[in-house]
Structure 1
Amino acid sequence: MTPVTYDPLDPAFLADPYPAFAWLREHDPVHHHPADHRAPAFWALSRFEHVWDAVRRPEVFSSAGGLTFFPDEIGQLGIPPTIVMLDPPRQTQLRALIGRGFTPKRVAVLEARIRSFVRSRLEELAARYADGATVDFHAEFSSTVPTYVLAELLGVPEADRERFAPWVLALTELQNDGFDSAALTGSHASTDALTAMAEMMEYFTAAIAARRAEPADDLLGALVEAEVADDDGSVQRLSDWDVLGFCFVVVAGGSDTTASLITHALALLEEAPDQRRLLLDDPSLLPGALVEFLRLESSVQGLARTTLRDVDVDGTTIPAGEKVMMLYAAANRDPREFGPTADRVDVRREIPRHLSFSSGPHFCIGSHLARLQARVALEELLEAHPWISLDAAAGRRHESPFVRGWVSVPVARL
């Protein structure tokens, strides 16, 4: 195999990271990445078994030091801490609170509303396409589905939902720009995005106050009413800052990732028309196919942990206090776990375990909701436009080492 350089901030790598991931898996599975002028030194794990083991050991690989290889990304943005940057037992306790809004039963109740929304969006886009307009599949379809669902979940009134979409985009932009100090001083993150972030914080601060004055049957209302036991056994309500942190993690973790799943699914099917035909002939394959799409194009490419002690991984010692990237996207294509066809889409593939939603204590709390949205969106899309085609060459991706997704992808044919 020809050597391939792993450079997580190189646009050429970000355009197609999979050759570099394959090289790491085979030749340097416990990779030490040196510091340079763009980022400090860190380690990277790329084999499935190594990543699977590490994310399930928070006592060794901690989330409390941040989820990127940049220092203090949350502090630089001035946003509340979230459960994804905590370790058990506190993380377990707080996760149970937000989990009330994501139970399979509660998520299933949303299906009829999601289906109605998706059908209306498809009708609108088809009418515009028929009139000769350019239709952006990702921005005007895929991204609108999670934005609608998150607004429903958080109890954002319909009158305010036009404001909600730019906040989601702002969070996505700030995450994907990398969290380094240069990004936050203007070389990447735009002033518009930071302004939208401030507006979102102000809006939800007022919404929290309204829920405290008058309870509501939505996730925000449930968080305001939730009680948490302190270390001394006393019970108290979550602070406004705590609830804002929950809002942040719901919006940041549940919007762009789900939108990218929908667009990636269609792009993968376009590359494999035989697999599309299988789904069209047997729609019952779709739930399993969604896991396959996530495996091949992981919306979250990788997140970091910090070692709390020296740890041996496959004969290499990673010292305490080091940042370690968990390369989910590399692990999800490991032929040791998924066989010799790991790089090819197979909608009939049996996948007993994967890392698209991580694993262990930080397994994605919104996984049921993400799969529901993508399933409904693709069911309706493939029924209404079974051979829809995207102009991926004209599309534009995010440039981020942490997530893989789209900014825009035009429709080539409906």
Structure 2
Amino acid sequence: MTVAYDPLDPAFRADPYPAYAALREERPVHHHPGAPGIPEFWSFARFDDIWDAVREPATYSSARGLTFHPDEIGKLGIPPTIVMLDPPVQTALRSLIGRAFTPRRIASMEQKIRDFVRERIADLTERAAAGEEVDLHQLVSSPLPVFVLADLLGVPESDRAAFAPWVAALTQVQNDGFAVDPEQLSGMDAAAQMMGYFSEQITHRRTCEHDDLLGALVAAELDGERLSDWDILGFCFVMVAGGSDTSASLVSHGITLLTAAPGQRRLLLDDPSLISGAVLEFLRLESSVQGLARSTTREVRIHDTVLPEGAKVMMLYASANRDPREFGETAAELDVRRRPDRHLAFSSGPHFCIGSHAARLQATIAIEELLAAHPHISADPSRGVRHDSFFVRSWHHLPVGDLESRV
């Protein structure tokens, strides 16, 4: 039995969903023997298997990295961040961070975000009226999370010209799964520059209060314990590397999916209150994070397959999120009214995405404003350019097909 699952194959990256379907049906626990550029690893493809695994960190550990590379933490050259820790250390750190990074803090930004999105849409509209080919991803989707991150972290306007390139460089490193090579040195340099910048900002906030997330992280205290400088820096790194391109592509994927499903768009136009829930459906169908790894801490038997201790196991979220066993016969179809009891759009368990509120708010506002300004806006993925990545399914360019077409 042969399943065409090769993370390095450009054809697979362009459309991974047929391979995921084959894995779910024929080989839910798949062994990849390794190849040039990829070490040996296993993968889980079904929803229930992944749901259970990510909620069992004692067996499926994050502490050995999140990709199939065995030494990614060493390659990064930095201590483990919160996403590469297990309970109880991860639990205590998450609790401290959660006291600063609250849904209320995110919600307080709603008007700022809405104003920014409207400015970007106005620019897109003006360019289109002048006859330019307009790029939805570059003009609206991509700048949005950069703005949100900078505002949350208290980056002043005077420093944002430097902040945006750091975000872009770190996004590229993250998209390539931390596979450090000479072409990525600029990305690692960007990480060093960003860490140096935020180190200075943390030092300043330890002596002078600031009403921003960085200031709140400095002040956060649990049972007399405060976050160390590295804990705060690591969280900044995770926010920037993991929360920029994924949030941007959620917006672009949403418009792409609606372009292909005019009936679903009509539902949102008739009832905009559905948009917030639809954002989760966009993320379910086009999971920004395609999969992340865990490492087994003991020998595991699952579906008659034995995984050895220390095995790298890719949790294929994008496959799980289209599993008919969980989402029914329409699992591969867009349904903006779908409200599943469970989903893996933001993972689950101790590593449930701490930035989920920020991602959902950004995407909800962006889709609301795009449909309000241009109810029949379409995207043209045939002329788009994706980042060539297995770990993150994202866009680099996504031209607008038409602003007003009703087709």
Percentage identity across aligned positions? 64
1:207 aligns to 2:201 (yes or no) = yes
Specify the alignment match of 1:85 in structure 2: 84
Specify the alignment match of 1:285 in structure 2: 274
C-alpha distance in 1 between matches for 2:258 and 2:108: 29
C-alpha distance in 2 between matches for 1:107 and 1:220: 13
Give secondary structure in 2 for the equivalent of 1:12: helix
Unaligned segments of structure 1, at least 5 residues: 230-234
Give secondary structure in 1 for the equivalent of 2:209: coil
Return the offset for 1:228. Answer: 5.8
* 8 Å CA contact retained: 1:102, 1:368: no
* 8 Å CA contact retained: 2:290, 2:393: yes
Specify the alignment match of 1:127 in structure 2: 126
1:185 aligns to 2:174 (yes or no) = no
C-alpha distance in 1 between matches for 2:220 and 2:177: 33
Query: Pick from 311, 330, 337: which aligns with 2:300?
Result: 311
CA displacement, residues 139-165 of structure 1 (integer Å, 9 cap, x when unaligned): 221011111111111111112122211
Residue pairs, 1:370-409, within 5 angstroms: 370-409=359-398
Return the offset for 1:263. Answer: 0.3
C-alpha distance in 2 between matches for 1:205 and 1:53: 38
State the 4+ residue runs in structure 1 displaced beyond 4 angstroms: none
C-alpha distance in 2 between matches for 1:310 and 1:177: 29
Cα RMSD after superposing both structures: 1.5
Specify the alignment match of 1:224 in structure 2: 218
* 8 Å CA contact retained: 1:102, 1:369: no
C-alpha distance in 2 between matches for 1:153 and 1:226: 15
Return the offset for 1:278. Answer: 1.1
C-alpha distance in 2 between matches for 1:336 and 1:209: 51
Give secondary structure in 2 for the equivalent of 1:5: coil
C-alpha distance in 1 between matches for 2:113 and 2:260: 27
* 8 Å CA contact retained: 2:256, 2:380: no
Give secondary structure in 1 for the equivalent of 2:206: helix
Specify the alignment match of 2:99 in structure 1: 100
Query: Pick from 234, 243, 248: which aligns with 2:232?
Result: 243
Give secondary structure in 2 for the equivalent of 1:288: helix
Name the amino acid aligned to 2:340.
Answer: I
Specify the alignment match of 2:354 in structure 1: 365
Unaligned segments of structure 2, at least 5 residues: none
* 8 Å CA contact retained: 1:208, 1:240: yes
Q: Which moved more, 1:391-400 or 1:41-50?
A: 391-400
With structure 2 as the length reference, what TM-score do the two structures score? Answer: 0.95
* 8 Å CA contact retained: 2:64, 2:73: no
CA displacement, residues 52-106 of structure 1 (integer Å, 9 cap, x when unaligned): 0000000100000000001222321223421000000110110112212332222
Give secondary structure in 1 for the equivalent of 2:295: strand
C-alpha distance in 1 between matches for 2:271 and 2:60: 42
Return the offset for 1:236. Answer: 4.6
CA displacement, residues 367-400 of structure 1 (integer Å, 9 cap, x when unaligned): 1111111001110110001111222111111111
Return the offset for 1:178. Answer: 2.6
With structure 1 as the length reference, what TM-score do the two structures score? Answer: 0.94
Give secondary structure in 1 for the equivalent of 2:181: helix
Return the offset for 1:31. Answer: 0.6
Specify the alignment match of 1:154 in structure 2: 153
Name the amino acid aligned to 1:225.
Answer: A
* 8 Å CA contact retained: 1:270, 1:389: yes
Give secondary structure in 1 for the equivalent of 2:126: helix
C-alpha distance in 1 between matches for 2:47 and 2:261: 25
Specify the alignment match of 1:5 in structure 2: 4
Return the offset for 1:241. Answer: 2.1
* 8 Å CA contact retained: 2:176, 2:391: no
Name the amino acid aligned to 2:151.
Answer: E
Residue pairs, 1:281-360, within 5 angstroms: 281-360=270-349
C-alpha distance in 2 between matches for 1:62 and 1:311: 13
C-alpha distance in 2 between matches for 1:69 and 1:372: 31
Q: Which moved more, 1:320-329 or 1:283-292?
A: 283-292
* 8 Å CA contact retained: 1:83, 1:91: yes
User: Structure 2 vs 1, CA of residues 408 and 79 (structure 1 numbering), >3 Å: closer, same or farther?
Assistant: farther
User: Structure 2 vs 1, CA of residues 372 and 56 (structure 1 numbering), >3 Å: closer, same or farther?
Assistant: same
C-alpha distance in 2 between matches for 1:339 and 1:348: 14
Specify the alignment match of 2:250 in structure 1: 261
C-alpha distance in 1 between matches for 2:73 and 2:241: 12
* 8 Å CA contact retained: 2:100, 2:217: no
Give secondary structure in 1 for the equivalent of 2:30: strand
* 8 Å CA contact retained: 1:146, 1:254: yes
Q: Which moved more, 1:403-412 or 1:127-136?
A: 127-136
